[in-house]
């Protein structure tokens, strides 16, 4: 199959923006790593909001055809959304893709409607998080859910990134046929992970040799419940006085969380580092990675930290059990308070052998579950199976892709 004289299957991936969450990075990896002798790929991205970190630099240096639509952003803005929709629609008219694969709510709405109206034969959408529980207010959630139920009717295939998410989607979207939703775990190119940073973070924080460091990495948003983690750490400091906590990230609650730390007089125990580009420095410098959310999809942060052999202390919510096995790669706590999370942190910080065992188990487990090879293989199989549902079209593609003698 020569790239020069055979028609390839054209796939356009659409994602709202490339920020610190996993959706944009996943779209980039998929666009870059699908077999380029079989697929012609285009990545469509929008822009980050003012309080988000633009990580579109991840696209640089990759063999990706990239279309940027600046008007497409996470928040609802009717005028800009209409402009973004028109640009996406005309792109589909011009490019005539075989498959449009969207992810995240805004691009999933604009992209799927534009794809349907422009005659794209295959529509696939990935839900990157549990967006119907805890992320938005009651009224906004109702509107989003109503829209997603309509979109689901003409979407050929919906992808869930965890088993628990698939169960949620079947109920929320009122889908009667479970086979319409496929589980495809997110994938990572573990070869891209940089080596440990040789204690750079501990030097930066002027830590003593016997200090123990817990890390949180993520948006400082209500769903992440950083207040729960701070309350838990107040208990931790009583039992593990050498324990410290670093909070990496930014968001609308940063000022409130910093004031909470000041009120509790924990400024010498809890450090706010803001947004960091060198996450390998953070992961290699901590002893435990913590997550305190009320809900999660498949948290990339935990997978990345486990890759560095760091065990997890987290609330047992959403897709976290798909990443962390309680007692094997971390300790999971109930989400109804902070004491269970505090106890999990105390147990791990007081037991070095346990931390090392959980971290080693977790590293091996995520490499097996979340490899980029698995992700690309499953998507390739899914794309091909969807094209087979269009017999005439697929036969033509086969004749073009497979040389005859």
Closest CA to 12 of 110, 151, 131: 110
Whether the predicted pLDDT of 398 surpasses 60: no
In tens, the pLDDT along 105-118 reads: 999 999 999 999 99
**What sign does the dihedral 7-8-9-15 (CA atoms) show?**
negative
**pLDDT in the model for residue 132:** 58
- % of the chain with per-residue pLDDT over 90: 71
Residue 65 has pLDDT above 60, yes or no: yes
Average pLDDT (368-386) is 94
What is the residue whose two structure tokens read 């059990």?
A: 321
C-alpha span between 106 and 220 (Å, rounded): 21
Q: Report the percentage of the chain scoring pLDDT > 70.
A: 92
Q: What is the pLDDT of residue 318?
A: 86
pLDDT, tens digit, 9 for 90 and up, residues 126-178: 998 755 555 556 777 788 888 999 999 999 999 999 888 898 889 888 888 89
Instruction: Report the SS3 class of residue 375.
Output: helix
CA dist., res. 255 & res. 260, Å (int): 9
337-344, long-range: CB within 8 Å, 24+ apart, which pairs?
337/228, 338/228, 338/229, 338/231, 338/232, 338/235, 338/292, 339/232, 339/235, 341/228, 341/229, 341/232, 341/290, 341/292, 341/313, 341/314, 341/315, 342/231, 342/232, 342/233, 342/235, 342/236, 344/313, 344/314
pLDDT score of 397: 42
Task: Return the sign of the alpha-carbon dihedral for residues 49, 293, 27, 176.
Answer: negative
How confident is the model over 296-354, as pLDDT tens digits? Answer: 888 999 999 999 999 999 999 988 999 999 999 999 999 989 999 999 999 999 999 99
> Domains of the chain (ranges plus CATH)?
9-187+371-401 (3.40.50.2000), 193-369 (3.40.50.2000)
pLDDT digits (tens, 9 = 90+) for 339-363: 999 999 999 999 999 999 999 999 9
Question: Is residue 98 predicted with pLDDT exceeding 60?
Answer: yes
pLDDT of residue 136: 58
> What's the whole-number average pLDDT of the chain?
90
pLDDT at 3: 45
Tokens 């750490």 sit at which residue? 233
Residue 178 DSSP label: G
Task: Give me the pLDDT at residue 164, please.
Answer: 83
Q: What is the mean pLDDT of residues 256-261?
A: 97
The secondary structure of residue 36, as a DSSP letter, is T
Where do runs of H (alpha helix) occur along 266-371? 279-285, 300-307, 320-323, 339-349, 352-369
């Amino acid at each position: 199959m020569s790239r020069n004289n055979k028609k390839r299957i054209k796939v356009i991936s659409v994602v709202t923006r490339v920020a610190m969450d996993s959706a944009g990075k996943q779209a980039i990896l998929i666009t870059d790593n699908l077999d380029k002798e079989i697929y012609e790929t285009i990545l469509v991205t929008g822009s980050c909001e003012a309080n988000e970190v633009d990580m579109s630099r991840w696209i640089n240096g990759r063999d990706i055809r990239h279309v940027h639509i600046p008007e497409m952003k996470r928040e609802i803005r009717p005028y800009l959304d209409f402009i973004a929709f028109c640009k996406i629609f005309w792109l589909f008219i011009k490019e005539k893709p075989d498959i449009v694969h969207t992810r995240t709510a805004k691009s999933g709405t604009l992209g799927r409607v534009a794809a349907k109206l422009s005659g794209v034969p295959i529509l696939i959408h990935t839900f990157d998080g549990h967006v119907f529980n805890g992320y938005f207010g009651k009224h906004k959630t109702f509107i989003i859910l109503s829209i997603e139920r309509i979109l689901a009717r003409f979407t050929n295939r919906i992808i869930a990134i965890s088993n628990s998410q698939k169960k949620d989607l079947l109920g929320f979207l009122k889908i009667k046929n479970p086979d319409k939703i496929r589980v495809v775990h997110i994938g990572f190119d573990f070869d891209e992970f940089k080596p440990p940073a040789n204690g750079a973070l501990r030097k930066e924080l002027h830590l003593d040799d016997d200090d123990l460091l817990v890390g949180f990495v993520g948006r400082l948003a209500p769903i992440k419940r950083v207040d729960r983690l701070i309350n838990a750490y107040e208990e931790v400091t009583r039992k593990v006085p050498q324990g410290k906590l670093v909070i990496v990230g930014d968001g609308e609650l940063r000022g409130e969380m910093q004031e909470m730390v000041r009120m509790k007089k924990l400024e010498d125990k809890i450090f706010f580092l803001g947004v960091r580009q060198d996450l390998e420095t953070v992961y290699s410098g901590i002893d435990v990675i913590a997550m305190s959310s009320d809900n999660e999809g498949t948290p990339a942060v935990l997978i990345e930290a486990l890759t560095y052999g760091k065990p997890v202390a987290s609330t047992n919510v959403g897709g976290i059990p798909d990443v962390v096995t309680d007692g094997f790669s971390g300790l999971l706590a109930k989400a109804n308070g902070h004491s269970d999370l505090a106890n999990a942190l105390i147990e791990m910080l007081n037991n070095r052998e346990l931390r090392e065992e959980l971290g080693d188990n977790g590293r091996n487990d995520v490499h097996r579950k979340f490899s980029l090879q698995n992700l690309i293989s499953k998507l390739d199989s899914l794309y091909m199976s969807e094209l087979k549902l269009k017999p005439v079209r697929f036969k033509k593609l086969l004749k073009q892709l497979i040389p005859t003698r």
